[in-house]
Amino acid sequence: MKIYLKIWRQSDAGSPGQLVSYELDQVIPHMSFLEMMDTLNEQLILNGDRPVEFDHDCREGICGQCGMMINGRAHGPIPHLTTCQLHMREFKDGDTIYVEPFRGAAFPVKRDLRVDRSAFDRIIMAGGFVSVNTGQAPEANGIPITHEQAESAFDSAACIGCGACVATCKNSSAALFTSAKIAHLAKLPQGKMESGKRVLSMVAQMDIEAFGHCSNTEACEVECPQHISVLNIARMNWEYTLSRILKK
Amino acid sequence: MELNAKIPQGPLKDKWSFYKDHARLVNPANRKKMDVIVVGTGLAGSAAAASLAEMGYNVKSFCFQDSARRAHSVAAQGGVNAAKNYKNDGDSVYRMFYDTIKGGDFRSREANVYRLAECSAQLIDQAVAQGVPFGREYGGYLNNRSFGGVQVSRTFYARGQTGQQLLLGAYQALMRQAAAKTVTLYTRHEMLDLVIADGKARGIIVRNLDTGEIERHSAHTVILATGGFGKIYYLSTLAMGCNASAIWRAHKKGAFMACPSWTQVHPTSLPQSGDYQSKLTLMSESLRNDGRIWVPLQTAEKRKPNDIPEDERDYYLERRYPAFGNLAPRDISSRAAKERIDAGFGVGPQLNAVYLDFSKAIKEQGKEKIKEKYGNLFDMYRKITATDAYTEPMMISPAAHFSMGGLWVDYELMTTIPGLFALGEANFADHGANRLGANSLLQACVDGYFIAPYTISNYLAGEINSKRLPTDGQEFVDAEVQVRAHLGKLLAINGTKTADHYHKILGKLLYDYCGLSRSKKGLMYAIHEIKQLREDFYQHLKVPGTDDEMNGELEKAGRISDYLEVAELMCQDALTREESCGAHFREEYQTPEGEALRNDEQFCFVSAWKWQGADKEELLVREPLHFENVELTVRSYK
């Protein structure tokens, strides 16, 4: 396959960036998208050019580190897939592919396709945990949790923190990410106790960071590699309202 | 030279209690004056950093990833073992200890392994309290599954994402401390050297990977929880960034490396499909609970798997190991697969795979049940291979996975450098020559949550009078000069070959000569080739850019420069161990049936290697293993 690439190159957060064109021959359909990028980088280095910086690590869809806009879509054309799981068989010989960094004011570009997602860490710092110290835990079977409840908590907990929800949202809202953690912990007796305080604090942090508001377009759910449901956002809003009412 | 493992006195089951009862403590007022550096934010690192910060120490936590949540602990799928005996199937701490010691082919310390089993139950309690959504039965109680190498069900799981969920628990505990300002986080920072003052570990030199800036950090103790180095094989189940650099640079400062050649090759990974490939994706071992492994009875079989009748299939694990069948331990399963593939029975376009078949399980339990157990793994398989494993068998192949070897540590998890600790996969401790499935998450967590808080305090109690070491001292200056010189050297070569080029050649050498099977001839050849490759590397490597900017290629080149040294020691280690044990299979030492042949008379020891300087042979120091509670038997899974 021959592939034409238009890749966003930007040397640092303060410099302007631009799309630069590249051509790659002999792309194999079984290659992953990132292996195609490796091949391009190998060429660039040997030609004396600076390779394209992009985030990636586990390359099996679980670490949440990779992520780029591919033809305008977070993680590329296939829904519910991380960039590292995307394969070149999804493209055709002669295709032109646009590759840009994840979008969002809260995700400033560091270089090329690498963005700064530390805002997510700060949202978790604001309360995305159960306040339990090592050594305090009671016997694990002490509090039974129904199968359905545990499975539902897992569905929320499965978020890998990649940021595709933000990148794909026209408002760059972090509602899906934030709500997934709030819902995960609110659904379990261990986390429920702190739920009221947690939701206010995490939502406040979300607002401090440069994320936009959720306007319920549900675009995030379409791209989420872990199928995190927008029902989590509804749960967050419910927890938020409940907490505000109880406070007043 | 003698190595003192500092095993506490008393009967096996009382050793850890005895240690805890007698370990020295640090007064809370003194704790906040003491700085602890933790490198790595996987399960071991995050758990240790959070737990020590909760106690009141000042913790600095470092990782090369862009967030502490991304370490490769996330990738462990299947589960975590604990001797809770919830299934009432005869499990106990002693039985778990025995399974682990036997699984490791009697090449680990009894006291360490017993402690691992002893602390396992507590870990499940801790994780549940943190909100880890383990799988549960309909009555609301925790569920278990069985795993390779054991006959009880003691594996707790969170669908196929147990590692991810446990790590989120540890990460959240860490972020809670970061919010409380007891932990300072340094993401995108890579440790490039260890700083030693007065013979003790007192700091590290790191590079900020976003800016290229070199930083100095001082502390009263340094904990390395930097994971394994299976990525040295290039194609492996590990993340791209996994590396040996932190432990290797500590090794060159005096920390002994133990059994570096003991690498677990995982039996259920996806096979390689081409030269461009960057990693091998792991499919959880838990699949072997319901999947049956087979190859065609005929070589050069052209039929599709579903067209091959039952009596023309060779279920070779069930045939060779009837007692454990498809749940035979990993080393045995991988070797059996290699044996079939090498004999010409491999399947797939490159004839490098075996089938993992779910048709019987789907027939017996229904597709829905299988979907609930392994749905995400089947999805992942479809995404990568475009094949539906509900209707067609998966194709799997062995892949480099876990480093049993690592920095030598004593019972306190302290290396041979006072004040330098190694936790989790970075150390050699509990797994012997082969790790049992679902014991890696366990070891990382137990090291971090339950052992480090006692042993680090015990060490720091002797350091309460030592002042904070200023980072402008000579020790720091020297270490930084060294680090800068190495980076400069890599950049100055300006040759014609990329870092990956060398990594791929090195990986292939290790797979061929220091992988699933090893021989004297092969290892000697590999050592020779590695030396040449290293020479070539320093003549023809090309790293673009500079060292004062973000430079992914420079990071890679640094890691590969270390791998080129680690690889030689791995081969040296494999060469000197003239026996077969666990994952270490020397072709010269096998039974007539092709099973591993241990030599307990001569090789019942841990090989610890001391760096003696560049271009000098490393010195082998033996730590004899004493077995007082178990009898050394031939490890049979028949």
> What was the ipTM of the complex prediction?
0.98
What is the band of B273 on the pLDDT scale with cuts at 50, 70, 90? Answer: confident
Angle at B33 between CA B28 and CA B39, to 5 degrees: 105
pLDDT of residue B116: 98
Residue among B508, B516, B507 at smallest CA distance from B339: B516
pLDDT of residue B300: 87
Average pLDDT over residues B166-189: 98
Average pLDDT over residues B306-332: 93
- The CA–CA distances, whole Å, from A81 to A90, A97, B315 equal 12, 17, 34
Give the chain B residue whose CA is nearest to the CA of A226. Answer: B376
Average pLDDT over residues B172-187: 98
SS3 state at A9 = strand
% residues pLDDT > 90 (chain B): 90
Residues of chain B with C-beta less than 8 angstroms from the C-beta of A53: 550, 552
Average pLDDT taken over every residue of chain B: 96
Which pair of structure tokens corresponds to residue B211? 């800016």
Sign of CA dihedral B55, B59, B64, B68: positive
- Structure-derived torsion over alpha carbons of residues B506, B507, B508, B513, reported in degrees to the nearest 10: 90
Determine what percent of chain B falls in helix, strand and coil, rounding each to the nearest 5. Answer: 40, 15, 40
Domain boundaries, chain B: 12-24+32-262+404-463, 268-398, 474-601
C-beta separation of B301 from B308 below 8 A = yes
pLDDT of residue B416: 98
pLDDT for residue B585 is more than 70? yes
Query: In this complex, do B131 and A125 lie within 8 Å of one another by their Cβ atoms?
Result: no
Distance CA B511, CA B526 (A): 10
Interchain CB contact of B369 with A (< 8 Å): no
- The CA–CA distances, whole Å, from B436 to B264, B379, B634 equal 10, 26, 17
Nearest by CB to residue B66, choosing from A65, A136, A190, is A65
What is the band of B589 on the pLDDT scale with cuts at 50, 70, 90? Answer: very high
Query: In this complex, do A125 and B128 lie within 8 Å of one another by their Cβ atoms?
Result: no
Residues of chain A with C-beta less than 8 angstroms from the C-beta of B68: 121
pLDDT of residue B111: 98
Nearest by CB to residue A31, choosing from B133, B276, B383, is B276
SS3 state at B353 = strand
pLDDT for residue B284 is more than 90? no
What is the band of B89 on the pLDDT scale with cuts at 50, 70, 90? Answer: very high
CATH code for the part of the protein at B474-601: 1.20.58.100
What is the per-residue burial (b if ≥16 Cβ within 10 Å, else e) of B86-112?
beeeebebbbbbbbbbbbbbbbbbbbb
Residues of chain B with C-beta less than 8 angstroms from the C-beta of A133: 51, 54
pLDDT of residue B339: 92
Q: Between A and B, how many CB-CB pairs are < 8 A?
A: 211
Residues of chain B with C-beta less than 8 angstroms from the C-beta of A153: 131, 133
Query: How close is the nearest chain A Cα to the Cα of B282, in Å?
Result: 8
Query: In this complex, do A129 and B176 lie within 8 Å of one another by their Cβ atoms?
Result: yes
**Chain segment B521-537, per-residue pLDDT in tens:** 999 999 999 999 999 99
DSSP B596: B
So which residues of B are the catalytic ones?
330
Q: H/E element holding B361? A: helix B359-365
Nearest by CB to residue B178, choosing from A125, A144, A146, is A125
Sign of CA dihedral B236, B242, B244, B247: negative
- Among A84, A134, A160, most B C-beta atoms within 10 A, so best to mutate, is A134
- Structure-derived torsion over alpha carbons of residues B16, B18, B24, B26, reported in degrees to the nearest 10: 60
pLDDT of residue B384: 85
Distance CA B78, CA A39 (A): 32
Residues of chain A with C-beta less than 8 angstroms from the C-beta of B154: none
Query: In this complex, do A39 and B276 lie within 8 Å of one another by their Cβ atoms?
Result: yes
C-beta separation of A228 from A79 below 8 A = no
Average pLDDT over residues B356-378: 92
Which pair of structure tokens corresponds to residue A115? 């963005």
pLDDT of residue B376: 80
Domain B12-24+32-262+404-463, CATH number (from 3.90.1260.10, 3.30.420.40, 3.50.50.60, 3.40.50.2020) = 3.50.50.60
Which pair of structure tokens corresponds to residue B394? 């998966």
CB atoms within 10 A of CB B634: 11
pLDDT for residue A61 is more than 70? yes
Give every strand in the sheet of B189-197, ordered side by side.
Answer: B189-197, B200-208, B214-218
Distance CA B451, CA B221 (A): 15
What is the per-residue burial (b if ≥16 Cβ within 10 Å, else e) of B309-318?
eeeebbbbbe
Distance CA B502, CA B313 (A): 40
What is the band of B306 on the pLDDT scale with cuts at 50, 70, 90? Answer: very high
Nearest by CB to residue B51, choosing from A121, A134, A146, is A134
HEC secondary structure over B149-171: CCCCCCEECCCCCHHHHHHHHHH
Contacts of B68 (CB under 8 A, 6+ apart): A121, B41, B46, B61, B171, B174, B175, B185, B187
C-beta separation of A12 from A110 below 8 A = yes
HEC secondary structure over A202-225: HHHHHHHCCCECCCCCCHHHHHCC
Distance CA A198, CA A189 (A): 14
C-beta separation of A71 from A11 below 8 A = no
Query: How close is the nearest chain B Cα to the Cα of A82, in Å?
Result: 10
Distance CA A95, CA A74 (A): 18
- Among A25, A28, A32, A45, most B C-beta atoms within 10 A, so best to mutate, is A45
Q: H/E element holding B422? A: strand B420-422
**Chain segment B384-417, per-residue pLDDT in tens:** 888 999 999 999 999 999 999 999 999 999 999 9
pLDDT of residue B630: 96
pLDDT of residue B321: 93
pLDDT for residue B1 is more than 80? no
What is the band of B110 on the pLDDT scale with cuts at 50, 70, 90? Answer: very high
Which pair of structure tokens corresponds to residue B159? 């669908």
SS3 state at B420 = strand
Residue among A6, A175, A10, A167 at smallest CA distance from A75: A167
Q: What is the pTM of this model?
A: 0.97
Residues of chain B with C-beta less than 8 angstroms from the C-beta of A184: 131, 133
Average pLDDT over residues A146-160: 97
Contacts of B472 (CB under 8 A, 6+ apart): none
Distance CA B344, CA B352 (A): 9
What is the band of B490 on the pLDDT scale with cuts at 50, 70, 90? Answer: very high
- Residues of B (73-112) whose Cβ lies below 8 Å from A: 74-75, 84, 86
Topology (CATH level 3) of domain B268-398: Flavocytochrome C3; Chain A, domain 1 (3.90.700)
- Residues of A (41-70) whose Cβ lies below 8 Å from B: 42, 44-46, 48-51, 53, 55-65
pLDDT for residue B558 is more than 90? yes
Residue in the structure block whose two tokens are 């089938």 = B355
Residues of chain A with C-beta less than 8 angstroms from the C-beta of B187: 118, 121
Query: In this complex, do A188 and B542 lie within 8 Å of one another by their Cβ atoms?
Result: no
C-beta separation of A111 from B550 below 8 A = yes
| Structural domains of chain A sorted by starting position, each given as residue range(s) with its CATH number in brackets | 3-111 (3.10.20.30), 117-247 (1.10.1060.10)
**Chain segment B122-176, per-residue pLDDT in tens:** 999 999 999 999 999 999 999 998 887 788 999 999 988 999 999 999 999 999 9
What is the per-residue burial (b if ≥16 Cβ within 10 Å, else e) of B615-632?
eeebeebebebeeeeeee
Q: What is the DSSP annotation of B116-159?
A: HHHHHHHHHHHHHHHT----B-TTSSBP-B--TT-SS--EE-ST
Which pair of structure tokens corresponds to residue B121? 């139950």
% residues pLDDT > 70 (chain B): 100
pLDDT for residue A248 is more than 60? no
- Residues of B (570-629) whose Cβ lies below 8 Å from A: none
What is the band of B565 on the pLDDT scale with cuts at 50, 70, 90? Answer: very high
Give all strands (DSSP E) within B318-360, no chain letters: 354-357
* Beta-ladder partners of A22: A5
Interchain CB contact of B168 with A (< 8 Å): yes
**Chain segment A222-238, per-residue pLDDT in tens:** 999 999 999 999 999 99
Contacts of B69 (CB under 8 A, 6+ apart): A64, A121, A124, A161, B41, B167, B168, B171
Helix axes B110-130, B162-179, angle to 10 degrees: 70
- Residues of A (200-219) whose Cβ lies below 8 Å from B: none
DSSP B550: -
